[in-house]
Amino acid sequence: MRKFQIEKSTGRFLGFDVGTHRLGYAAIYWTRSLPRIFKLGMIVKDKEFSFKNDFRKIESAIKEIKPKLVVLEKIYFSKNVTNALYIAEIQGLIKYACSKNNADFIEVHPRTLKLKITGDGNSDKEDMKYYINFWFKSKKIKNDLPDDIYDALALALYGSLILV
């Protein structure tokens, strides 16, 4: 008798974690019943701030990865209005790049993301890292990865789990 495994949603899922100086991204896919890393990357803000350059880099990642779904974290508050506005502008560039390249996107509240990945909506960064390493039983993930990459992996994983 053959044993069948339930497959998660197929396709690539791309998570973008937007920061004030850099943008982490992670693309994943599923094989059998395990998530796998397709690509990890970081887009660093140019010294000469340029929406055009940022857009090109974002669009290039989307074109290369060809995601089924792009996942962004909702901005829910910020003590620094300037940083919040910058993050909102970059998220706008990501949404435009998605629309231009026929990639669907969603936004997720941080607590919803944490609840789906760890089972606790109040998880801290260390809990998230632990569970990301648990989900991706992979040698590609190193403990010295920037937080932006871990967050992007969590976002991509979230997107893949909600489409099951």
So which residues are the catalytic ones? Answer: 17, 73, 148
| CA–CA distances in Å: residue 120 to residues 123, 124, 151 | 6, 9, 16
Q: How many whole angstroms separate alpha carbon 65 and alpha carbon 63?
A: 6
| CA–CA distances in Å: residue 110 to residues 17, 18, 89 | 11, 13, 19
Q: How many whole angstroms separate alpha carbon 136 and alpha carbon 143?
A: 13
The DSSP secondary-structure symbol of 149 reads H
- Beta carbons within 8 Å of 162's beta carbon, 6+ residues apart: 116
27 Cα distance to chain centroid = 7
Q: How many whole angstroms separate alpha carbon 23 and alpha carbon 38?
A: 17
